[in-house]
Amino acid sequence: MFETLTDRLNSTFSILRGRKELTEENISDGLREVRQALLEADVHFGIARDFTERVRKRLTGEDRLKGVDPSQQFVHAFHNELVELMGPEDAELNVAKSGPTIILMAGLQGAGKTTTCAKLARFLRKKRQMRPLLVAADIKRPAAVEQLRVLGRQLDMPVFHEAGLTPPQVCQKGVEHAKQNGYDLVILDTAGRLHVDAELMAEVAEIAKLTKPHNQVLVVDAMTGQDAVNSAKAFHEQLELTGCILTKMDGDARGGAAVSLKAVTGVPILFTGTGEKIDDIDAFHPERMAGRILGMGDVVGLVDQVQENIDENEAQVQMEKMLLGSFTLEDMFAQLRMIRKMGPMKKVLGMMPGMPKEVRDMDVDDKQMNRLEALFTSMTPIERLKPDILDISRRRRVARGAGQDVSAVNELIKRFKEMKKMMKQLNKMGMGSMFGASAKRDTLRGMSADGELASGGGGMLDSLGALGSGLGAGMKGLGSRLLGGGGLPGGMGDMDMNAMLGGARPMGSSATRKSAAKRKDKKRKDKKKRKGKR
């Protein structure tokens, strides 16, 4: 989502790389580039200016650290300011003390209100066990009521609407209906309106007056340009906005609106819409978003994702196997399945820290992963455990079973062997470069005043690293297969593993070694534990 902004910023930061110290001059150079990058990302003009000034202050003020790489310091200051700008706190929906919680959704036409209503209702039902009622009050756009009804049917969720009433009346009746029937969440879907349309703006204010919603939420298209700020301000004047939701974040919008909104209106971002499917909605975390904008990945989010979907013990076992060299196709298969559990590949890759541009831009088709899985499942368990027995006739059988060419099987085995070889090498190297990104994160955390980053994720990060490398090899294979088909431009197939894993260089090698030592420690402990069990 923020790829282009990220790349622009990274090239800016690289100007400072290798410099001994931050000076007024190189700060100014860097900031000019940053400002340009922000403007190209649709960050509001005034905010881009103020923002760069604040970063400058931070850099020239007391916060300046001696002996820390200037580019890192620059990134760090930038990161902190970004968090300040977008947060700094995670915002929450207000929940009613008694009676149903009412959420009023407003916004411009085509921002994605109706879809977001359904997504939000489903999210809150799933995560907070709420009983939602959707109220269709968009009588302006043809078939908008029908759209919400269809979504309601898909989600098995009630939709309230009464024909012949004005939108404020529909909303009022909807809230009453919810109270009478014991729903504890009411989401009011209103018509899209332009902020310069006085009549319609008065109407939405009227709805707010009659229903007294606990949350007045503005739905904003992430692709909106400089005008986002104007419309948000106008809505805020008519309503008392409590939050906003950014939609269409799965495009390549550079998210300038996201960065500007909070600063201009003081209204926090609550959620982001990240895809076409009904469960593509995520809570917004300024800290993580800042990390993603800066290409540091969203490690915390990734850990969440992992924790939600993956058994930690299993991941640990997998990693040990890889380290000890007793890695088989069976394990590679298990890893593939584990990673797939975390969600669509594109999303997972976007959260990985230090991913080079080629990987992020790569069009990861989950169908390719299905084909890969088919190859694995066409093998016998013995074959997966002892890949060496896969002679040509067995390979032919596997290919037939998977409905693919023998070359696909060969490719997979080649990748497997490379991966195994790489594991050995990594083992020799003390796995240093592999954890480059997380080490960088650690160091940054050390520098950060609040230091609340990635807390409690330590153990998980280890297994994550292992997963990452597994994923790397898998992707590599995938890439060259895609290349074989002539589909993918650029050298994904020849991608350097180092670039993949160590794209973000560790800041201090000591940090890396320490974590490697820690890891070995843990390994020993775990081994003991398992022995004890036996």
**Cα–Cα nearest to 349, from 359, 341, 358, 340:** 359
Q: How far is the CB of 229 from other proteins (least distance, A)?
A: 9
163 or 449: CB nearest other proteins? 163
109/498 with CB nearer other proteins: 109
Q: How far is the CB of 437 from other proteins (least distance, A)?
A: 24
Scanning 42-50, 95-103, 416-424, 433-441 for contacts with other proteins by CB under 8 A, the matching segment is: 42-50
State the Cα–Cα distance between residues 73 and 68, nearest whole angstrom.
Answer: 7
Tell me how far, at minimum, the Cβ of 42 lies from other proteins, in Å.
Answer: 4
Residues contacting 460, CB < 8 A, separation 6+: 303, 306, 307, 312
Stretch that binds other proteins, among 9-17, 40-48, 163-171, 503-511 (CB under 8 A): 40-48
Half-sphere exposure (CA, 13 Å, Cβ side) for 58? 21
Tally of CB atoms within 10 A around 75: 21
Q: Which stretch binds other proteins (CB under 8 A): 79-87, 144-152, 420-428, 469-477?
A: 144-152
DSSP code of 133? E
Using CB under 8 A, which of 226, 265, 328, 378 touches other proteins?
226
- Give least dist CB 68 to other proteins, A: 33
Question: Binding residue for other proteins (CB under 8 A) from 24, 252, 405, 494?
Answer: 252
Chain-centroid distance of CA 27 in Å reads 30
The answer to whether the beta carbons of residues 81 and 58 sit under 8 Å apart is: yes
Name which position in 11, 23, 109, 313 contacts other proteins (CB under 8 A).
109
Name residues contacting other proteins, limited to 407-446 (CB under 8 A): none
Residue 45 binds to other proteins (criterion: CB under 8 A): yes
With a CB cutoff of 8 Å and minimum separation 6, the contacts of 522 are 459, 462
SS3 398: helix
Does residue 452 belong to the site contacting other proteins (CB under 8 A)?
A: no
What is the nearest approach in angstroms of other proteins to the Cβ of residue 167?
Answer: 15
Instruction: Determine contact, residues 249/1, Cβ cutoff 8 Å.
Output: yes
Applying CB under 8 A, the site for other proteins has a residue count of 49
User: Which 261-280 residues touch other proteins, going by CB under 8 A?
Assistant: 276
- Cα separation of 284 and 11, whole Å? 27
3-state DSSP of 304-350: HHHHHHCCHHHHHHHHHHHHHCCCCHHHHHHHHHHHHHCCCHHHHHH
Among 61, 67, 142, 486, binds other proteins (CB under 8 A): 142
Footprint on residues 176-215 left by other proteins (CB under 8 A): 194-196
Q: How far apart are CA 498 and CA 412, in angstroms?
A: 20
110 is a contact residue toward other proteins (CB under 8 A): yes
φ/ψ (deg, to 5) at 436: -50, -50
Query: Site for other proteins (CB under 8 A): which residue of 8, 161, 236, 254?
Result: 254
Separation CA 265–CA 159 (nearest Å): 32
Measured CA to CA in angstroms, residue 14 lies from 48, 74, 351, 423, 517 at distances of 20, 10, 22, 30, 30
Q: Is 324 in the site for other proteins (CB under 8 A)?
A: no
Among 17, 32, 128, 141, binds other proteins (CB under 8 A): 141
Q: How far apart are CB 210 and other proteins at their closest, in Å? A: 24
Looking at the Cβ atoms of 153 and 421, the one nearer to other proteins is 153
Contact 411, 477 (CB under 8 A): yes
Cα-based distances in Å from 205 to 91, 161, 191, 236, 405: 23, 20, 13, 10, 63
Exactly one of 112, 167, 243, 503 binds other proteins (CB under 8 A); that residue is 112
Which residues fall within 8 angstroms of residue 452, CB to CB, at 6 or more apart?
A: 287
Which of residues 172 and 224 has its CB atom nearest to other proteins in the complex?
224
Binding range to other proteins, per CB under 8 A, among 74-82, 111-119, 160-168, 303-311: 111-119
List residues binding other proteins (CB under 8 A): 39-42, 44-46, 108-112, 115, 140-144, 146-151, 154, 194-196, 221, 223-228, 230-231, 247-248, 250-254, 256-257, 276, 363, 365
